Structure 1
Amino acid sequence: MTFPRPHRDDVLAAVAGLLGGLLLYALGLHSQGPDHAVLPTPVTLVPLVVTAFLELLRRTMPRTALLVGTVAVIADQLTRGSIATVLMFADLVYAAVVYGTPASARRIPVTTGMITIAVTIGFLAWFRDPAALLIGVITGLVSFFPAATGAIVRNHREAAIAARLRAEQTALLAEMDRTQAIAAERARMARELHDMVANHLSAIAIHSTAAISLDDATTTKQALTVIRENSVEGLAEMRRLIGLLRDSSGDTEPAAAPTLAGLDALVAQARTNGAASGLTFTLDDARDGDGRLPAPVELAAYRIVQESLTNALKHAESGEVRVEVSGGAGGEVRVRVTSPFGRRPGPRAPGSGAGLVGMRERVALLDGSFEAGPAAGPPGGPEKIWCVRAALPVVNDKEPPA
C-alpha cells in the first residue's frame, strides 16, 4: 500500500511530537502513575510512535488517521501514558474535521460531544466524587474542543471560498455585460454609419457612372452637381456621427437626430438622385396627429425609409417608389416602402448586404415586426414589387401604467 506524500507542516508536527514524547519518556515524565498502568512502561512508546506516524496522514487520510489514533490513545491509557500522544491525538481530531469529508465534519463534533458527556456521567457515577468531573473536562479538551475548533475553522474557510467564488462570478458577469455592451454599441454605430452614408455614396456611385458613360456635357454637369450635393451632405452626416462618438465634439449643442419631419427632404433628395434612373418617388404621410413620437421610434422609422430608398436607387426597375407612413401615438407607426421589382443584370451601385440586417435589428430593438421581400404589384402597375413593411410600437408616456 502506498501512502500519499505528506505535507511539510505535517512532517514537522510528527517529528516534534515524536521527539517531545521521547524526551518526556527519557525524563520519566508520564501522564499516569505506576498503579494505573496495566502494561509495562516501555509499551508507552508504541502509541507514541503510532500517533506520530499518523500525524503524517492528517491531511491526506484524516478519517483513517483518526480511527487508528483513537485505538492508539486508548492503548496509551493502559500504560504509564504520554502527554505527547494525547496532544497529537487532539490534533488528529482537529484535522479530521478540517480536512475530512463534509459528513465527517458534521458528525465528529457531535460524536465527541456525546462521548464527553457519557465519560463525565460514567466516571461521576463510578467514583461518586465531584473530582471525577475533571476526567470529563480532560476528555472534552482532548476530543470535543479540537473538533469544535476544527468546525469553526472549516466554516470560515468555506465562507471565504464561497465569497471568493461569488466575487469571481460577479467579475465574470461584469465582464460579460461589458463585452455585450461593447458589441451592442458597435452594432448600433455600424447601423448608423451604414444608414447615413450608404444613401449618399450610392447616389455618388450612380451619378459618377452616368457622368463617365454618357458623352454629354449637360448630363455630366447635372451628375457632378448631384455628386457634390451628396458629398457635402455625407460629410455633414459623418461629422455629426463623429461628434456623437467623441466625449466633446466642440459644439455648444449636440446635433439633433433625424425625425419623421424630415421625410419630405429625404424623399426629395431621393427624387433628385433617382431621376437619371427613371425612378419617381412619392410620399404618403398619413400619421395620426402632429405630436412628436418617442425618439427611438422616430429615428428607427426614418432610418428604415432612408435605407429602403437607398436600396431602391441601387436595385429597383424604372417606375414609382412609394413611401407610406401611418399610425401614431397610442398605437404603432407603420412604414411601407414599395418599388418596382424585376431582373436587373446587376445593381446600379455596389452594396454590403447589411441594409436589411440593420433594419431588422432596429425593429427588433423596439419589439416591432418587419417584413421585406417581393410581392404582387397593384392593379395597373408593375407585375411585381419589392415591399418593405415595418410596424413600430409606440408607448405613450403620458398614460398611466396599467
Structure 2
Amino acid sequence: MKRFPRPHRDDVRIAVVGLAGGLVLWGLRLVSGGSGLLGWGWSLVPLAVTAGLELLRRTRPRAALVGGTAMVVADQFTAGNLATVLMFTDLVYAAVLYGTPTAARRIPVTTGLVTVALTIGFLAWFRTPQALLIGIVTGLVFLAPATTGALVRNHRDAAETATLRAEQTALLAEIDRAQAVVAERARMARELHDMVANHLSAIAIHSTAALSLDDPATTGRALTVIRENSVAGLAEMRRLIGLLRDSGAESEPAAAPTLAGLDALLERARANGASSGLDFALDDTRPPGAALPAPVELAAYRIVQESLTNALKHASPGTVTAELAHTWRALTVRVTSPYGDRPGPRAPGSGAGLVGMRERTALLGGTFESGPEPGADGGRIWRVWAELPITEGESSV
C-alpha cells in the first residue's frame, strides 16, 4: 500500500492558523462578499477543505492547487470567507515554488491570462470603471502569488547553482592539487634516480669485483672507485634532502646540469667502466653557440646520464657512444652501447631508468625509442634515441 509522505511541520502550522482564523471570521460573521446562495454555514466546507489542502502544499503542490481552485470557486456561492481566499493564494505560491519546472513556468502565465480575461469580461459586462476593481482583486488572488513564487524560485535556483558551482570548483581544485602532488613526486623520483643511480651502479659493480677477485691490486682500485662514488652520491643526496627540507629565502637550489657538463660525465663513466672493458665517446655535432631551452638541456643531459648508467650495468665490452644533433626544430639524442653477453660482475636493474627517460621526453612532447638493433660491425647494439622539440609552442613544460 502506497503511503503519502508526512506533511512538513510548517505546512501543518499554516493549515492550523488558516483554519482557526477562518473559524474566528465565521463566528464574527465577517464575510468576503460571496453570493450567499448556499447559506451561511456552507462557507465552512471550502474553509475546512482548503485548510486540509495546505497540508499538501509542499509534497503534492499540483493536487493542492487544483483542489484549492475548486474550493475558492465554491466559496463564491456561499457567504464567503477571507481565510479561504488567503489560503488559496498560498497554494498558488506553493505550486510555483515547490512544483515541477514546467508548472513553475506555466502557472504565472495562466494566472496572468485569467486575470486579463476576467478584467475584460467584467468590463464588457458591467460597462463601468468599477469593474477594474474585480480585475485588481483577481490579480492579487491569482497573479501576485504566482509571480512571487516564480521570483523566489528563481533566486533559490540561482543560489543552488552558485553553491554547486562552488563545490565543483573546490573539487576541481582538489583534483588539480592531487595531480600536482603526483607530478611533483614523479619529478623528484626521476631526479633522485638520475643523480644517484650512476654512483650506486659503479659501487655495485666494483664491490662485486672486489669480492669475487682475489687480487689485492684489483681490490684496491675497486675500493678507490667505491669511495669516490659513495662520497659523490652522498653529496648529491644531502643536496636533495636540503632542498626538500629548507624552502626559505636563504636556500638556493643548485643550477640544473646542462650539456656543457657532458665531458665531465663521460670522464666519470670511463673511470667507472674501465674494469669492465668499456670506453665512452661523445659525438656532438651541434653548431657552436646554439642556444637551447633549459628544460630541453636538462632532459638531454639526464637521458645521456641514465644511458651511461645502464651501459655500466649491462653493456658488453666495447665503446659507448653518445651523439647529439641539433636541427631548427629539435635536439636529437642517441646513445649506443655494445649489446650481448657480458663477462664479470653485473649490477641489477629495475627498468626505472627507461621509464624516467620516456617520461622526460613525453613532458616535452618528444619521441623516445629504445631497444636492441644490428650494429655496423655485424654485432648487436642497444640504442637509446630521443627527439626533443625546441621550437616555440611544441614543448609542454
TM-score class, shorter: over 0.9
Native 8 Å contact 2:208 2:345 kept in 1? no
Provide the residue aligned with 2:290 in structure 1. Answer: 291
Provide the residue aligned with 1:400 in structure 2. Answer: none
Change (3 A) 1:29 1:292: same
Native 8 Å contact 2:62 2:95 kept in 1? yes
Alpha-carbon distance between aligned partners in 2 of 1:300 and 1:280, rounded to the nearest angstrom:
23
Task: Name which of 361, 366, 372 aligns with 2:359.
Answer: 361
Q: How many residues align?
A: 392
Alpha-carbon distance between aligned partners in 2 of 1:208 and 1:191, rounded to the nearest angstrom:
25
Q: Does 1:383 align with 2:379?
A: yes
What SS is found at the alignment partner of 1:322?
A: strand
Change (3 A) 1:345 1:158: farther
Question: 1:345 deviation in Å?
Answer: 8.8
Alpha-carbon distance between aligned partners in 2 of 1:340 and 1:79, rounded to the nearest angstrom:
108
What SS is found at the alignment partner of 1:280?
A: strand
What SS is found at the alignment partner of 2:386?
A: strand
Alpha-carbon distance between aligned partners in 2 of 1:222 and 1:292, rounded to the nearest angstrom:
40
Provide the residue aligned with 2:100 in structure 1. Answer: 101
Alpha-carbon distance between aligned partners in 1 of 2:374 and 2:104, rounded to the nearest angstrom:
77
Question: 1:248 deviation in Å?
Answer: 3.7
Question: Counterpart amino acid of 2:372?
Answer: P
What SS is found at the alignment partner of 1:288?
A: coil
Structure 1 stretch displaced more, 105-114 or 345-354 = 345-354
Native 8 Å contact 1:243 1:249 kept in 2? no
Cα-to-partner distance string for 1:164-193 (whole Å, 9 max, x where unaligned):
111011111111111111111111110000
What SS is found at the alignment partner of 1:178?
A: helix
Change (3 A) 1:296 1:212: same
Question: Counterpart amino acid of 1:30?
Answer: V
Provide the residue aligned with 1:210 in structure 2. Answer: 209
Counterparts of 1:326-345 in structure 2 under 5 Å?
A: 326-327=325-326, 330-343=328-341
TM-score normalised to the size of structure 2? Answer: 0.95
Q: Identity over the aligned pairs, expressed in percent?
A: 71
Structure 1 stretch displaced more, 252-261 or 330-339 = 252-261
Counterparts of 1:68-83 in structure 2 under 5 Å?
A: 68-83=67-82
Alpha-carbon distance between aligned partners in 1 of 2:141 and 2:210, rounded to the nearest angstrom:
101
Structure 1 stretch displaced more, 249-258 or 127-136 = 249-258
Change (3 A) 1:152 1:396: closer
Provide the residue aligned with 2:24 in structure 1. Answer: 23
**What residue ranges of structure 1 are gaps of 5+ in the alignment?**
398-402
Provide the residue aligned with 2:13 in structure 1. Answer: 12
Provide the residue aligned with 1:323 in structure 2. Answer: 322
Cα-to-partner distance string for 1:59-94 (whole Å, 9 max, x where unaligned):
111111101110110000000000010000000000
**What residue ranges of structure 2 are gaps of 5+ in the alignment?**
none
Alpha-carbon distance between aligned partners in 1 of 2:355 and 2:47, rounded to the nearest angstrom:
79
Question: 1:395 deviation in Å?
Answer: 2.7
Native 8 Å contact 1:369 1:391 kept in 2? yes
TM-score normalised to the size of structure 1? Answer: 0.93
Cα-to-partner distance string for 1:188-229 (whole Å, 9 max, x where unaligned):
110000011101000011111111222222111111111111
Alpha-carbon distance between aligned partners in 2 of 1:222 and 1:347, rounded to the nearest angstrom:
15
Alpha-carbon distance between aligned partners in 1 of 2:194 and 2:383, rounded to the nearest angstrom:
18
Counterparts of 1:218-367 in structure 2 under 5 Å?
A: 218-248=217-247, 253-327=252-326, 330-343=328-341, 348-367=346-365
